[in-house]
Amino acid sequence: MTAKSRACLPSMLILAVSMCCRADDWPQFLGPNRSGTSTETNTIVPWSGDGPKVVWQRDVGSGFAGPSVKDDRLLLFHRIGNEERLECFAAATGKPMWTNSGPTRYQDDFRFDEGPRAVPTIDGELVFALGAEGGFRCVELSTGKTVWMRALLKEYEAEKGFFGVASAPLVVGNVVVANVGGSNGRGIVGLDRLTGKELWKATDHEASYSAPVVTTINGKQLALCFTRAGLVGLEPPTGKVLFEVPWRARSSASVNAAAPVVWSNRVFITTSYDTGAKLLSIEDAKPVEIWSNDESLSSHYPTPIWAGGHLFGFHGRQENGAQLRCVEAETGKVLWSQDGLGIGHLIRIANRLLVLPENGELLLMSTSPTKPEILARGQILGLGVRAAPAYSNGRLFARSPKKLVCVKLAD
């Protein structure tokens, strides 16, 4: 092998890994691009009767971690007894394929739920699962065999926060980016994808529940981490911090949970707790504020969806009642609001929105900026739905505290 061939090999491997994902995969939190938007184009036809067709369902353990899907394999991270279980099922049938288990002693301070919170991330033939008390494992997608393990909270002297560890890991090339919240400059860490070895560390920020995203703006690749202190933009290969934007509530009893929303050279961050939202323009790796307020779209925990110049998302606190809203992205102007849905997750497929509130009712809506248009609705789960759903091959996969369900929505 020539020197030139060796130099090209890492890029070739990264390209090969990225090409392994099919168009209908949902391999991580918020889907293929961490935008909550499916790459599938088949139109979802409004269903009739009580709801869409249930393909299969099964009982599951505790946890707020939603499913991820690749190559007709569904990954679910949940807790049964004193074990955190990463389980693989056939997406088409729900048939179990393998289980990778590890002990856990996590106890939630508020007794909400004591299972995993972070959606597993599938990258190529590897799966990365981050547990509620910081146990981080990498396993083979085909077999469930453990490749490496780390105890991130213990190793980086990080606090578990109010509700445990919940930020889904991000894979960029050969680097796994984790929002750890460790002390002494270890707030965000980059780990080697194949070995788990630390490659870099950055910031003193405490961890949030927001998942990092990756984007390319003006030809420069950025990993964007919305920590408890605010937005951090850094270089994925090196961990070099390019900018920081403070955005944190004055109250200590607060969290940042929604992931950054990115389009063009725009980055939108949002939180609750009398803080609100901010839209930034990234110019030469430097953020410039376009607008900010607490009146447009202040999200407690779900990540809003961008579609055609508009932001769709839930405004308001979960416990106080929220509104589903459509907001003009460039100005923050509220175009419409829908009461009575509670709060929940959204997925966009073409010009349709799937809305799954905490009450377990699935709604099909249009992406109209003029008025809220509910095209169909039907109950698919019980109460207490907090986990983010996944959409793959015309099927929606969603979980409640006790049940995982697959429903058919498109051909």
Q: What string of DSSP letters covers 385-409? A: --SPPEEETTEEEEE-SSEEEEEE-
Residue 11: predicted pLDDT? 36
For 3-408, CATH gives: 2.130.10.10
The CB density around residue 250, as the number of other CB atoms within 10 Å, is 8
What is d(CA 316, CA 306) in angstroms, rounded to the nearest whole number? 18
What is d(CA 329, CA 269) in angstroms, rounded to the nearest whole number? 12
In what helix (H) or strand (E) does residue 368 lie, and over which residues does it extend? none
What's the alpha-carbon Rg for the chain, to the nearest Å?
20
Residue 22: predicted pLDDT? 62
N- to C-terminal Cα separation, the chain? 46
Q: What are phi and psi of 13, to 5 degrees?
A: -70, -40
Question: In this structure, are strands 395-399 and 135-140 parallel, antiparallel, or unpaired?
Answer: unpaired
Supply angle C-alpha 385, 387, 388, rounded to 5: 120
The secondary structure of residue 16, as a DSSP letter, is H
Beta carbons within 8 Å of 227's beta carbon, 6+ residues apart: 179, 181, 187, 188, 203, 205, 206, 207, 208, 210, 256
Residue 318: predicted pLDDT? 83
The Cα-based distances of 42 to 163, 350, 352, 403 in angstroms read 38, 8, 10, 27
The Cα-based distances of 134 to 88, 166, 359 in angstroms read 21, 9, 29
Residue 87: predicted pLDDT? 98
Half-sphere exposure of 294 (CA within 13 A, CB side): 12
Q: Where are the beta strands (DSSP E) in 183-239?
A: 186-192, 198-202, 213-217, 220-226, 230-234
In what helix (H) or strand (E) does residue 284 lie, and over which residues does it extend? none
The secondary structure of residue 250, as a DSSP letter, is S
pLDDT in tens, 346-371: 999 999 999 999 999 999 999 999 99
What is d(CA 141, CA 194) in angstroms, rounded to the nearest whole number? 13
- Residues in the chain, pLDDT under 70: 1-23
